[in-house]
Structure 1
Amino acid sequence: MIWRFWTVPNQLTLARLIFVPFVITNVLDYNFKWALGLFIAAGLSDGLDGLLARWLKQRSTLGEYLDPIADKLLLSSLFLVLSFRQIIPWRFTVVVFSRDICILMLCALIYVTTPLRDFRPSFLGKLNTVAQVGALFLVLLNEVVDRNWIYVGKDYLLWTVFALTCLSALHYLYLVGYRLHQVTSAASK
């Protein structure tokens, strides 16, 4: 896998990055229909870029790094702005940001000080991302459509995000520790 830039999947990921400021400004302006539509379009482009990367055999190292960055930027920005607008309680945003910042700092420190380069997300981390997408979708949908099941589902998914964020952080620390132990054991032989 090389650093290929002009692949279709990478271009879709870059387009998803372009969605972020438009989703955020629409939430800030209380244009929730537009914010929801753009959020759905970003989600579809996320699924499509992964599908095309496999189907067209255009997987790249750049895509492996760019895709989660685009996801985190959109999701974290939405948590932040929705909390700022008092639509999501701050406790959820603080937990999501704390986990992501701690993981980022830990990985950067390990990257600089050790030979470990395996920072793949855990299964719980991927499940957490799915829960975040679902929760944010229902939060935005709840601002557009007033239905009780949406309100209940939104609250349920936000608490699921809270729990999965905590569990996935602990699991990721365990995985990184295990991977680090393997790398240092192999290097000392």
Structure 2
Amino acid sequence: MSRRPARADDAQPTGGTAAQSQDAATRVLTIPNLISFARLLGVPLFLYLLLGPHADVAALVVLAVGGTTDWVDGYVARRLRQVSRLGELLDPTADRLYILATLVGFTIREIVPWEFTAALLARELVLLVSLVVLRRYGYGPPPVHYLGKTATFVLLAAFPTLLLADAVPGAATAAGAIGWGLAWWGLVLYWAAGVFYLIQAARLIRTFRREAG
């Protein structure tokens, strides 16, 4: 585990540098946060384009931009030293909303079978339960692991490719093969990351009980 999630009663360091870090961590209006907000606004726009006028090409562009900019907010935050607690929550939230919105839209449009959607949603349900349990012990969400980021990246690459296969008949064969290859690989990685997060949660709970005992 890379680091322990912060607890409400953890002691805070003192001093000027710590105060500056605290100020940076509590900022809201930062460039990376604005990028994350823009990504969030793309979620309802994508669903509208996909399910409303069936503007698949426009929906494809929105989905592709939302997926490819996944790393931008984090990179800008580190580059400009504007890492914030809000940003740490917004980034994975935007990723999950893009995945959930895409699954809902694709299932309604029958671009992906409901079994695939159920497999991904089951993983999200398991993680949600683990987060509720961690909260009872005073812990926040575990830090994002590279395996989870990789799984998200693969899925966000698979979805536009699958939409391309559905929207452009001439690209259906090649894009469909590539898209489904990425989708199934992303599903495996997504569940592997979920298992890793469960292991993290179990370790934290055992540590808490041992210290409390």
Q: How many residues align?
A: 187
The aligned residue for residue 85 of structure 1 is 109
Q: State the percentage of identical aligned residues.
A: 28
Segments of structure 2 that go 5 or more residues without pairing to the other structure are 1-21
Pick one of 91, 96, 99 that aligns with 1:72: 96
Conservation of the 8 A alpha-carbon contact between 1:13 and 1:45 = no
1:176 Cα deviation from its structure 2 partner = 1.3
The aligned residue for residue 149 of structure 1 is 174
TM-score by length of 1: 0.89
The aligned residue for residue 77 of structure 2 is 53
Cα 1:51–1:169 shift into 2, 3 Å: closer
Larger Rg: 2
1:149-188 matches, cutoff 5 A: 149-188=174-213
1:96 is aligned to 2:125: no
Conservation of the 8 A alpha-carbon contact between 2:130 and 2:201 = no
Conservation of the 8 A alpha-carbon contact between 1:118 and 1:179 = no
Which letter does structure 1 place at the counterpart of 2:105?
Answer: V
Which letter does structure 2 place at the counterpart of 1:123?
Answer: Y
Conservation of the 8 A alpha-carbon contact between 1:116 and 1:180 = no
TM-score by length of 2: 0.80
Which letter does structure 1 place at the counterpart of 2:167?
Answer: V
Deviations, residues 64-122 of structure 1 (Å, cap 9, x unaligned)? 011111111111111111011101111111111111122112212321x2133351233
Cα 1:122–1:46 shift into 2, 3 Å: closer
1:171 Cα deviation from its structure 2 partner = 2.3
Distance in 2 between residues matched to 1:116 and 1:55, nearest whole Å = 28
RMSD: 1.8
Conservation of the 8 A alpha-carbon contact between 1:92 and 1:158 = no
Moved over 4 A (4+): none
Which letter does structure 2 place at the counterpart of 1:182?
Answer: T
1:105 is aligned to 2:129: yes
1:43 Cα deviation from its structure 2 partner = 2.8
Which letter does structure 2 place at the counterpart of 1:22?
Answer: L
Conservation of the 8 A alpha-carbon contact between 1:53 and 1:59 = yes
